[in-house]
Structure 1
Amino acid sequence: MEDPQTHDSAVLGAGQDSRRRYVDINLARLHQMGIITQDGGRTSAAEDFRIIKRPLLRNALQPGSAAANRNLIVVTSALPGEGKTYCAINLAMSIAMEKDHTVLLVDADVARPSVLKVLGLPAAPGLMDILLTEKVGVSDVILRTNIDTLSLLPAGRNNKHATELLASQAMSALLVEISSRYPDRIVIFDSPPLLLTSEASVLASQMGQVVMVIEAESTTQATVKEALRRLDHCPHINLICNKARSFPAGDYYGYYD
């Protein structure tokens, strides 16, 4: 199987330096933050995300499925602070441990990007730069990491027309490219909150699967229902109950369809 990271480097434009597109993630720091790492051992979060990822992978890779973009998974929430970025990173890290898959983690919260910040990395060109100019391609901005099976696509520059850009033909073409270039690749999008921006529902409408993070004992039922109404056009919606302190040890996350 061709290494997707190597292929991305091979198609850089003339004069591009592939070395600046490599980043070193401090895995010891992430482990201290409670984020899953390959050498982090059998933590409760690692076990929970093993359960969470399995139906997502099954849906993404189901033979003969006609679902469009089924390997594109967006992680969102109704409101800020519910833990969507934390869950998106953990989900990507967990899938990156699989033997037969690679993962591309996309920061699509373009107004308030935080994936690179959580990973301890500086801001970099990314998604918005691809959509704003034809001179920038996916291979120019994808960041290779010290985890062989994990790549990153930063949010890139902020733009007041983000909603229109995410709904554009350029975005549709980009999604086709990143979903079909490698059959073993799972793409995780960290999305804005559903009830604060219009970008989130526009993005979700183009995904094969949606994961909505709900903060336990905080987000109201009415808020969840309103957020789900924004997703009524999405074929596969999954919920993660996050920060549920009343669960027994080892069950910090709950998951259901």
Structure 2
Amino acid sequence: MAKRSGRDGRRRLGAGARQEMLARIAAAGGLRARRPAPSAGPDPAAAALREAVLDLQAARLPQLHDMWDSLPTLTVDAARLERNLVIAAARRDPAHAAFDVLRTRLLRALRDNGWHRVAVTSPTDGCGKTFTAANLAVSLSRYEGCRTLLLDLDLRSPGLAPTLGVAAPGPISDWLRGAEPLEAHLRRIGPNPLGIGGLGVALNDRAESFPAELLRDPATGAALAAMQAALSPDVVLYDLPPALAHDDVAAFRDQYDGVLMVVGGGRNSAEQIREAVRRIGDDKPVLGIILNRAEEERASGAA
């Protein structure tokens, strides 16, 4: 039974209850007593607890391991990122501030709802979704303690590797199908003078013949669940194909919590935007609609 300590008022387990608890721990863990329980001493229950701790240590039970620090690192080149319009890296272009505003609003929405996984898509090709995903990921990574993952899941036209200046990263499908372990494909951005912090990337250099089927495959769901369990990311950004071109975004819907829709100025009509949102479904909230290529819209005189 529980007793009340006169020192701090907290409830304490009695000796019999402690012995029963230790017996249950030993039974649950398959442990055997390695030494006889002490028969004398001021507190036999406390001595038995020490013995149980020794047994737990000796049993070499599996330890939880954070894989993040052991991931292979990836070197980024500031000049190449700037040439590829990753403007959030060097922060020379004043437009980088828009991504800082976007990250703050996105993090607030995710934390308010307990979400982590975001699909980045667009109604049609050429709207700048990969540009947006890369710049947002870099901006997010600069927040202290914000661990961000960026995955290229546009399996029809992968574009993140050239955007980040990475040659031949290999096919991401090998990992999604379970043929490769996570650490064989995911890379963490290494130390750099740009201040890019907690950012991991999974890139791709091969188009798939059946991308929607792979995105919906239970093996892909299992690979992504294992990734989240191993790395505990704060934000996962999935760069996906355009929503109106194919059914990939719909096929992948179980794997994301919300959507960022990148709209091309002068490229997308209001009807296309509405249809893209409709295809995603009412149960997947649109966390933001980002207008990209606005200068093209102004040049065309579009409203």
TM range (shorter): 0.7 to 0.9
Greater share of helix? 2
- Partner of 2:255, secondary structure, is coil
How far residue 129 of structure 1 moved from its aligned partner, in angstroms, is 0.8
Give percent identity, aligned residues only.
Answer: 25
> Per the alignment, do residues 177 and 60 of structure 1 end up closer, same or farther by CA in structure 2, a change over 3 Å counting?
farther
User: In the alignment, is residue 221 of structure 1 matched against residue 274 of structure 2?
Assistant: no
CA distance in 1: counterparts of 2:156 and 2:197, whole angstroms: 29
**How many Å apart are 1:187 and its aligned residue?**
1.1
Say if 2:94 is the partner of 1:44.
yes
* Partner Cα distance (1:163, 1:214) in 2: 22
Q: Report the Cα offset of residue 234 of structure 1.
A: 4.0
**Would you say the 8 A contact 1:100–1:184 is kept in 2?**
no
Give the number of the structure with larger relative contact order, counting CA–CA contacts within 8 Å between residues 6 or more apart. Answer: 1
Q: Residue 50 of structure 2 aligns with which residue?
A: none
Would the aligned equivalents of 2:153 and 2:241 in 1 still touch at CA under 8 Å?
yes
**Aligned position for 1:135:** 179
8 A Cα contact 2:149 2:237, kept in partner: yes
Q: 1:109 to 1:136 in 2, by over 3 A?
A: same
**Counterpart mapping for 1:1-257 below 5 A:** 5-7=68-70, 9=71, 21-41=72-92, 43-62=93-112, 65=113, 70-132=115-177, 134-146=178-190, 147-155=196-204, 157-237=206-286, 238-245=288-295
Aligned length: 228
- 247 and 44 in structure 1: CA distance in 2 versus 1, 3 angstrom threshold: farther
Q: 1:226 to 1:190 in 2, by over 3 A?
A: same
- For residue 96 of structure 2, what is the amino acid of its counterpart? A
2:86 counterpart SS class = coil
What TM-score, normalized to structure 1? 0.79
Name the SS of the counterpart of 1:230 in structure 2: helix
User: What is the SS of the residue equivalent to 1:104?
Assistant: strand
TM-score by length of 2: 0.68
Cα 1:156–1:131, aligned 2, differ >3 Å: closer, same or farther?
farther
Query: Matched residue of 1:44: which SS?
Result: coil
Maintained 8 Å contact 2:103/2:140: yes
8 A Cα contact 1:110 1:157, kept in partner: yes
Moved more, 79-88 or 195-204: 195-204
Q: Structure 2 CA distance, aligned partners of 1:183 and 1:98? A: 16
Residue type of the alignment partner of 2:126: G
Cα RMSD, aligned residues only: 2.5
Say which one has the larger Rg: 2
